[in-house]
Structure 1
Amino acid sequence: MSDTVTPISLFISDVDGTLLTPDKSLTPATIAAVQRLHALGLPFTLVSSRPPQGFAMLIEPLELNAGLKLPLAAFNGGMIIDPQLTCLGIDLLPRECTQETIETMRAQGLEVWLYTETGWYVTEPDGAYVTHEIHAIKAKPITVADFSGLIDKAAKLVGSSKDFAKVVACEQVLAQKLQGKANAHRSQAYYIDVTPLGADKGHAVEKIASICGIPLAEVAVLGDMENDLPMFATAGVAIAMGNATEAVKAKADAVTSDNQHDGFAEAVTSFILPRVRSRPKI
């Protein structure tokens, strides 16, 4: 890292591909690493593309409802929630962006999901990644004939496909079409997320750091995908997972092991703890 003097006073992590293993579980080493952060009194929280209900499985084992009780960011920063999953603020997609995104994703051959503050909606319940998402977030979708009654309530749209090249191509098309109107980033090789303009992980990091009264230069972040790049550009220290894409690694200050070999725990031990000011646990 370029600056070995500035302390780390806030640590923010991505969830899928970073905190969790490929089978969406927390390892003992990961839980122990978070406990060490709590013991030092270091503020720690999560920013994810997940919907709010997707955080429920993480609150208790990581003790996020104790101590500082920091807010978490869902929908890539488009929704801020407390550890009880109560909405503290949410951004919605403009109607025209929602309609244009749905049409574009379908034209590019992707299945489309729509998320609101409280629900996950699909038109194809047997879609390629529906079962995978149910396992990941521990919630089931609501099947609708179409999204017409939800256009004004969309907090996030997801396009998914088993053809990863299609997802990349769709990301490029949407980035052009939605420029200045909404954000389009891949959160997994098989998912592309569209969220409101300004609702990205970089802005989420800014909000959380402001709440904590901590300078951005003293914030460390950890992630693995293109939707993590806005927070890499915002935080003082950016750490990439070993399973991150090459584009993400190129923007990182350091790279840890992958999420099959306790990369989160290694990042905490190697890059976070040496720069933490010890303080009493709150």
Structure 2
Amino acid sequence: MTIKLVAVDIDGTLLTPDKKITPEVKAAVREASQSGVQVVIATGRPVAGVYHLLEELELNKPGHYVITFNGALVQDAATGQELVKDILSYQDYLDIEYYSRLLGVHMHAITKEGIFTANRNIGKYTVHESQLVNMPIFYRTPEEMADKEIIKTMYIDEPEILDAAIAKLPAEFYERFTIVKSTPFYLEILKKSANKGRAIQQLAQELGLTMAQAMAIGDEENDLAMLEVVDHPVVMENGNPKVKKIAKHITKSNQESGVAYALKTWVLND
């Protein structure tokens, strides 16, 4: 069956290691889009960290969609109209923040407006995230967060500190939340119903498409949910070995325009 929907991760997938989109990827995305394929950015980044990429790829026009916050938010890329919005409750935030202090790991929460941390000594990976996604950082105590629409929270720290904290997370956290490790120094915690896979399923339903008509391209553990639900899972050559195990196809690396290779080989030449 012809592929009509392609979900593409950003970091480690769409972008080269130096955070660029190659001319080959731009051309392939444009060709796929012009041929009637719905190419959708599906990322852990917040909306603000995606706008410039949508513009560069010409995916910000009417009829295009974008999946952000690891599937917690699905929007019309042109109008901003929300199709899906799964936010954490204030009690969720309080529990997640409490365990960050208990386990000795830095943490921040993200809304559509910015990055909020209760860490008086702001972690370097909070600063890194702010620069990566072009969002401001706000210091707020837990009591000052009651009125915020928190879309996701993140434990961010040196890999060895983060891994030690992960090992001590209570089992009930995995029952209550979607928990995904997106880099060695990022652990993302979202509402249980939020993940890239569910977001793609909901968008496909909106577009009248099936998972047999869908492809996903990714590289990391936070891409597993979308790779598992589509009939055509594609993993980057530079991808996590655990993620490669479920791939139908392995494409070239992000340094070698792997997204372009996947689109040309398994979508445009189908």
Distance (whole Å) between structure 1 residues aligned to residue 201 and residue 108 of structure 2: 28
Q: What whole-Å deviation, never above 9, does each CA across 1:44-85 have from its counterpart, x for those lacking one?
A: 11111111111111121111123532x211111111222147
Distance (whole Å) between structure 2 residues aligned to residue 43 and residue 151 of structure 1: 38
Partner residue in 2 for 1:279: none
Amino acid paired to 2:156? S
Amino acid paired to 1:209? A
Answer yes or no: is 1:217 the counterpart of 2:221. Answer: no
Contact 2:235–2:250 at 8 Å: present in 1 too?
yes
Q: What whole-Å deviation, never above 9, does each CA across 1:127-181 have from its counterpart, x for those lacking one?
A: 222342233212222233x23222463210011112x243344445447231331
Amino acid paired to 1:132? H
Query: Structure 2-normalised TM-score?
Result: 0.90
Answer yes or no: is 1:238 the counterpart of 2:241. Answer: no
Contact 1:90–1:117 at 8 Å: present in 2 too?
no
Structure 2, unmatched stretches of 5+, are none
Contact 2:4–2:36 at 8 Å: present in 1 too?
no
Q: What whole-Å deviation, never above 9, does each CA across 1:106-138 have from its counterpart, x for those lacking one?
A: 333321111123222124475222342233212
Answer yes or no: is 1:40 the counterpart of 2:35. Answer: yes
Answer yes or no: is 1:255 the counterpart of 2:261. Answer: no
Distance 1:117 1:135, change over 3 A: closer
Task: After TM superposition, give the deviation of residue 238 of structure 1 in Å.
Answer: 0.5
Contact 2:62–2:79 at 8 Å: present in 1 too?
no
Distance (whole Å) between structure 1 residues aligned to residue 219 and residue 165 of structure 2: 20
Distance 1:85 1:255, change over 3 A: farther
Partner residue in 1 for 2:101: 106
Task: After TM superposition, give the deviation of residue 92 of structure 1 in Å.
Answer: 1.4
3-state secondary structure, aligned to 2:256: coil
Query: Structure 1-normalised TM-score?
Result: 0.87
1:184 aligned to 179, 185, 203, which one? 179
1:9 aligned to 4, 13, 29, which one? 4
Distance (whole Å) between structure 1 residues aligned to residue 139 and residue 81 of structure 2: 24
3-state secondary structure, aligned to 2:132: helix
Distance (whole Å) between structure 1 residues aligned to residue 169 and residue 112 of structure 2: 23
Contact 1:216–1:234 at 8 Å: present in 2 too?
yes
Partner residue in 2 for 1:118: 113
Give the alignment of 1:29-178 within 5 angstroms.
29-66=24-61, 68-69=63-64, 71-84=65-78, 86-88=80-82, 89-124=84-119, 126-144=122-140, 146-151=141-146, 153-162=149-158, 164-174=159-169, 176-178=171-173
Equivalent pairs counted in the alignment come to 267
Percent of aligned pairs with the same residue?
27
Contact 1:79–1:87 at 8 Å: present in 2 too?
no
